[in-house]
Amino acid sequence: MKKQLLYIILFIGFLGFSQEKPKVKVSVDTTKIRIGEQINYQIFVDNIETGVVFPELQLDATGKIEIVETLNIDTLKNRLVRKYVLTSFDSGRYVIPQQKINVWSQEYLTDSIVVDVATVAVDTLKQKMFPIKAVHNEPYTFEDVKPYLWWLVVVLLVLALVLYFVFRKKETLEEIEARIPAYDLALKKLKELDDKQLWQQNKIKKYYVELTDIVRAYIEREMRIPALESTTNDLIATITDINKSSSLNISDKALQKLQRLLKEADLVKFAKYRPLSNEIELHRNDAEDIVNIMHPSIVGNVKINDIKSIKKTIIVQKPIYKTPSMLVKIVIILVFLLIGFFFILSISNVAKSVENIKNTIQQNSLKINTEDVE
């Protein structure tokens, strides 16, 4: 019985001495680097495979050492390895403090590591020096011009109104008369001709020119024939043909009055004929009678097909195309100016962005060249 107890005690002691305690240590591939180079920092835990907790890595107190990458835990035979990739972009000497590792709720401390970070020596004789870059201007955005947008709209509207009143097209006398019915216009002009008293002032030729022009213009508008450009014989022949081939119902007496008026007016205008006062008054009355006689028949009975059937030259009224008013044109121009303003603003932003990209590329190129120089 005593021997069995002795064997049990010896066996337990042997097991206690054969099981080694966990060992924790750290290693780095180098302790001296240049700015931007990397360090491989590793934590080893030997004599154990489970129950190990790696806490968050604690770096130097100044925060100059940075973690680039944290790798997964490697499990080897009876060993756990945790790897970190570190770097620094500031020269100096830094201490990576001790790390606390928990193994089965028991805390173990690693050794601290001192790392020296050196600057890159630049040979100014070989390396080209670049001038200091100017301050980069930020590109304009819509928010920058938004406070001035309403002022711009107001200015453009005021400019549009000024241009409208300055350059607006004043209505001509012909445009005003074109809106008056032919019959009313003819009577109005006959009344105005009477008020001028031209023949009483011995301006007989001028009187007959205006008198026949009133009659011819009336016929041209009502019958749509070139009365102002036609000779007396051609005009009478054209009206006679239209009267025969349609339902104008112009009496021969009215045609004779018109022919007599035009022929005697031609004598006054081209042959220096001087009619008597009663003849002038008769011609004036004939002109008004012709207007009154031809007005109802032309308006009520003439058909387009009847006029087209005549072999004489007929005026064909062209379609009326309304051109935009001056105000509309000015508004369109201002809209295009506003669009051009924003287009130029966009081009300016693009140009500034390209310039900033070029400056960034040059700075990165300079940095890369600096790192390559020993």
Q: How many CA atoms lie within 13 A of 316 on its CB side?
A: 8
Asked if 338 and 226 sit in the same domain, the reply is no
pLDDT number for residue 166: 73
Percentage of the chain surpassing pLDDT 70?
A: 72
**CATH classification at residue 67:** 2.60.40.10
Model confidence at 131, in pLDDT bands (50, 70, 90)? confident
Model confidence at 94, in pLDDT bands (50, 70, 90)? very high
pLDDT number for residue 371: 52
Model confidence at 4, in pLDDT bands (50, 70, 90)? low
pLDDT number for residue 85: 93
The answer on pLDDT for 329 being more than 80 is no
Asked if 250 and 188 sit in the same domain, the reply is yes
pLDDT number for residue 16: 45
The 10 Å CB-count burial string (b at 16+, else e) for 246-261 is bebebeeebbebbbeb
Assigned domain for 313 exists: no
3 or 248: which leads in pLDDT: 248
The answer on pLDDT for 40 being more than 80 is yes
The answer on pLDDT for 53 being more than 60 is yes
Percentage of the chain surpassing pLDDT 90?
A: 10
**Domain closes at, from 100, 118, 136:** 118
Q: What is the mean pLDDT of residues 156-174?
A: 72
Assigned domain for 342 exists: yes
Asked if 283 and 182 sit in the same domain, the reply is yes
The answer on pLDDT for 149 being more than 80 is no
* Separation of alpha carbons 223 and 37, rounded Å: 101
CA neighbor of 238 nearest in space, from 253, 220, 251, 254:
220
The answer on pLDDT for 167 being more than 80 is no
Model confidence at 310, in pLDDT bands (50, 70, 90)? very low
Radius of gyration from C-alpha coordinates of the chain: 55
pLDDT number for residue 358: 72
Q: How far is CA 109 from the centre of its chain?
A: 68
The answer on pLDDT for 51 being more than 90 is no
Assigned domain for 183 exists: yes
Strands 113-118 and 32-34 turn out to be: parallel
pTM exceeds 0.85 for this model: no
The answer on pLDDT for 321 being more than 60 is no
The answer on pLDDT for 312 being more than 60 is no
Q: What is the mean pLDDT of residues 343-371?
A: 67
Look over the chain and give the mean of its residue pLDDT values, rounded to a whole number.
77
pLDDT number for residue 126: 64
Asked if 190 and 86 sit in the same domain, the reply is no
Domain that holds residue 131: 120-168+320-374
Split into its structural domains, the chain has a count of 3
Asked if 114 and 140 sit in the same domain, the reply is no
Assigned domain for 10 exists: no
* Digit-coded pLDDT (tens) for 169-205: 665 666 676 778 888 888 888 899 989 888 889 999 9
Asked if 105 and 188 sit in the same domain, the reply is no
Asked if 198 and 263 sit in the same domain, the reply is yes
The answer on pLDDT for 314 being more than 60 is no
Asked if 28 and 67 sit in the same domain, the reply is yes
Lowest mean pLDDT among 53-67, 108-122, 133-147, 228-242: 133-147
Model confidence at 87, in pLDDT bands (50, 70, 90)? very high
Model confidence at 116, in pLDDT bands (50, 70, 90)? very high
The answer on pLDDT for 328 being more than 80 is no
88 or 136: which leads in pLDDT: 88
pLDDT number for residue 15: 44
**CATH classification at residue 288:** 1.20.120
Contact 265, 212 (CB under 8 A): yes
Q: What are phi and psi of 84, to 5 degrees?
A: -135, 145
Strands 74-76 and 106-109 turn out to be: unpaired
Model confidence at 336, in pLDDT bands (50, 70, 90)? confident
Assigned domain for 125 exists: yes
